[in-house]
Amino acid sequence: MSQTFTLSPAELALRLGDDALILSHRLCEWCGHAPTLEVDLALSNIGLDLLGQAQFFLNYAGEMENAGRDADALAYHRDEHEFKNCLLTEQPNGDFARSIVRQFFFSAWQQLRFHELAKSGDATMAAIATKALKEIAYHVQFAAEWVVRLGDGTEESKCRVADGISWSWRFVDELFTGEDAALRPAWEARVRATLNEAGLDLPAPVRGITGGREGRHSEYLGHLLAEMQYVQRCHPNAQW
Amino acid sequence: MYTVDYSKPQDARAAQVEDADRLAAFDARVAADDFIEPKDWMPEAYRKTLIRQISQHAHSEVVGMLPEGNWLTRAPSLRRKAILLAKIQDEGGHGLYLYSAAETLGVTREELIEALHSGRAKYSTIFNYPTLTWADIGAIGWLVDGAAIMNQVALQRTSYGPYARAMVRICKEESFHQRQGYEALMVLANGTHAQRRMAQDALNRWWWPSLMMFGPPDDNSPNSAQSIRWRIKRETNDELRQRFIDATVPQAEALGLSIPDPALKWNEATQHYDCGQIDWEEFYAVVRGEGATAKDRIQARIDAWEKNAWVREAALAHAAKRSTKQAA
């Protein structure tokens, strides 16, 4: 598609910022409800890293837009059709297996994407990516280790992680549109290695569901934003 | 942290059959402000009191993640959201320190969690109050963490070494969050009319429950005397409570907010604030588990534990397979 070649840096920053913002929000929902205290801390930790990335990207997107909007304005005062996150990140947490697979697929993609971005001629984007890559390496490791534990754990955990893979698999295509298509072989190799270690196979291709990048989301995002934005929307001119 | 010692020591006086010489040596060490360490001999009642107090302290950290976690997805700015997420993460970490400290006394974390879920172990009464507005998050940081710090600073000199050391580490992080909570409230107090009202309403609802965090009054605190003799506790509930009030009233004044206590008045003679009567009936009701959110809090913990049991089982099964493979 020619669209990706005309993708502006502002649009890219918005996409990457929204990915991080929305997935971070989902991880916040786990807080206090995880299988162990250690996992609770790890999920919050990843959520906090992603929130930091979101702030960097969205502030930069706002700067480039030059209309006086900062990360908060972009996070709290856009409607759902203006959000550009991929559909994968807005999927509900489901059980722990679904959340872990979502994390693994996303973080493995982010690692490849940011590796490219770190070489970008845009110094700000490259700096954000370079900082984030250190965090992402940890996220990928954490998620991959859990995919293996669940896949190579009990019968039940194997079924659940297989369900998690099938839930998320429909949203993978969206990660590899336009020039990002080139990242797919490396991503599949990374994912296949972990799934094999877990005793699982890479699923057969399915018809991908896309739309997030164009602001056409699942039914889940509206609810997420209603919750996330409500205080700001009630007090639009207040400082916090 | 945030715990006060609530439940009765069923067997605190049952252990007097012990070696009198050892007991005398123990008493002398405690009196000399020596730290007692895990391998040292200690009276059985001392061990049990500490297990109860440290584990309840740990449980308080973990249950305390829930009222604040309630506002994570609704925090009104990304900065506040990040601060809150970092804070809750610290609380989980404090829970881990404290469970480790309790485990040095010969119990397992699983046993302690089981006691929490079955209702045998308690956690701080404060977490059985609901967080109803964003301002509550600031108020918790300021008042609840403030009260916690008052307690914990005193516990840095508690006689059991692992507990004292956990307190030193926890206090450092806690003071930071307390300042951030106060700052969040300061923004509201200097904000719009609606924000100011929100801040005052939060203070109205959290003031008395915060004072209750110090536990029952000295004349009705059956564990205190023994705990003070053993130097587990270094100061009485009422002493700590008074110190908290004296420190906090000027902070409220700086915010331009009023403390919901018409009897509150500076006493020139004592150099302390005099204040109104705590509603002890409410306190004991909350201790009995009749607080507004008590059932929700414990149910949330039980659900997290039980609905995710399959995850822990998977991790164990995988670890077992792995060690079998390595052994082969």
Indicate yes or no: CB of B82 within 8 angstroms of CB of A55.
Answer: yes
Long-range interactions of A203-209: CB distance < 8 A, separation 24+: A203/A165, A203/A166, A203/A169, A206/A169, A206/A170, A207/A170, A208/A170, A208/A171, A208/A172, A208/A173, A208/A174, A209/A87, A209/A170, A209/A171, A209/A173, A209/A174
- Residue A3 confidence (pLDDT) above 60: no
Long-range interactions of B175-181: CB distance < 8 A, separation 24+: B175/B149, B177/B87, B177/B90, B177/B141, B177/B145, B178/B141, B178/B142, B178/B145, B178/B146, B178/B149, B180/B83, B180/B87, B180/B141, B181/B137, B181/B138, B181/B139, B181/B140, B181/B141, B181/B142, B181/B145
CB B8 within 8 A of CB B52: no
Average pLDDT over residues A46-60: 98
Question: What is the tens place of the pLDDT at every residue in A106-121?
Answer: 999 999 999 999 999 9
- Residue B4 confidence (pLDDT) above 70: no
Question: What is the tens place of the pLDDT at every residue in B74-105?
Answer: 999 999 999 999 999 999 999 999 999 999 99
Q: What is the rounded CA–CA span in Å between residue A192 and residue A29?
A: 29
Residues of B in contact with A39 (CB under 8 A): 311
CB A61 within 8 A of CB A13: yes
The C-alpha of B317 sits at a distance from chain A's nearest C-alpha, in angstroms, of 5
Q: How many degrees, rounded to 5, is the angle at CA B6 between CA B5 and CA B8?
A: 105
pLDDT at B6: 43
pLDDT at B5: 44
Query: Where do the structural domains in chain B lie, given as residue ranges?
Result: 20-327
Q: For B312, name the nearest residue in chain A, comparing CA atoms only.
A: A35
Average pLDDT for chain A: 96
Question: Which of B37, B245, B3 lies closest to B161 in space, CA to CA?
Answer: B37
pLDDT at B47: 97
Indicate yes or no: CB of B72 within 8 angstroms of CB of A28.
Answer: yes
Question: What is the tens place of the pLDDT at every residue in A140-193?
Answer: 999 999 999 999 999 999 999 999 999 999 999 999 999 899 999 999 999 999
Q: Answer whether CATH 1.20.1260.10 is correct for domain B20-327.
A: yes
Decide if A230 touches B, using CB distance below 8 A.
Answer: yes
Q: Which of B72, B99, B137, B195 to mutate to test the interface with A (most CBs of A within 10 A)?
A: B72
pLDDT at B182: 97
pTM of the model: 0.94
Question: What is the tens place of the pLDDT at every residue in B226-243?
Answer: 999 999 999 999 999 999
- Provide Rg for chain B, Cα atoms: 21
- Residue B263 confidence (pLDDT) above 80: yes
Decide if A185 touches B, using CB distance below 8 A.
Answer: no
Residues of A in contact with B194 (CB under 8 A): 235, 238
Answer CATH for A9-200+209-234 from 1.20.1260.10, 2.60.40.1220, 3.40.50.1820, 3.40.470.10: 1.20.1260.10
CB A51 within 8 A of CB B85: yes
Decide if A155 touches B, using CB distance below 8 A.
Answer: no
Residues of A in contact with B66 (CB under 8 A): 32
Q: State ipTM.
A: 0.96
The C-alpha of A185 sits at a distance from chain B's nearest C-alpha, in angstroms, of 29
Sign of the alpha-carbon torsion through B103, B158, B2, B49: positive
- Residue A198 confidence (pLDDT) above 70: yes
Question: Which of A28, A23, A76 lies closest to B72 in space, CA to CA?
Answer: A28
SS (H, E, C) chain B: CCCCCCCCCCCCCCCCCCCHHHHHHHHHHHHCCCCECCCCCCCHHHHHHHHHHHHHHHHHHHHCHHHHHCCHHHCCCHHHHHHHHHHHHHHHHHHHHHHHHHHCCCCCHHHHHHHHHCCCCCCCHHHHCCCCCCHHHHHHHHHHHHHHHHHHHHHCCCCEHHHHHHHHHHHHHHHHHHHHHHHHHHHHHCCCHHHHHHHHHHHHHHHHHHHHCCCCCHHHCCCHHHHHHCCCCCCCHHHHHHHHHHHHHHHHHHHCCCCCCCCCEEECCCCEEECCCCCHHHHHHHHCCCCCCHHHHHHHHHHHHHHCHHHHHHHHHHHHHHHHHHHC
Question: What is the tens place of the pLDDT at every residue in B161-189?
Answer: 999 999 999 999 999 999 999 999 999 99
Average pLDDT for chain B: 93
pLDDT at A1: 42
Strands B265-267 and B272-274, by their bridges, are: antiparallel
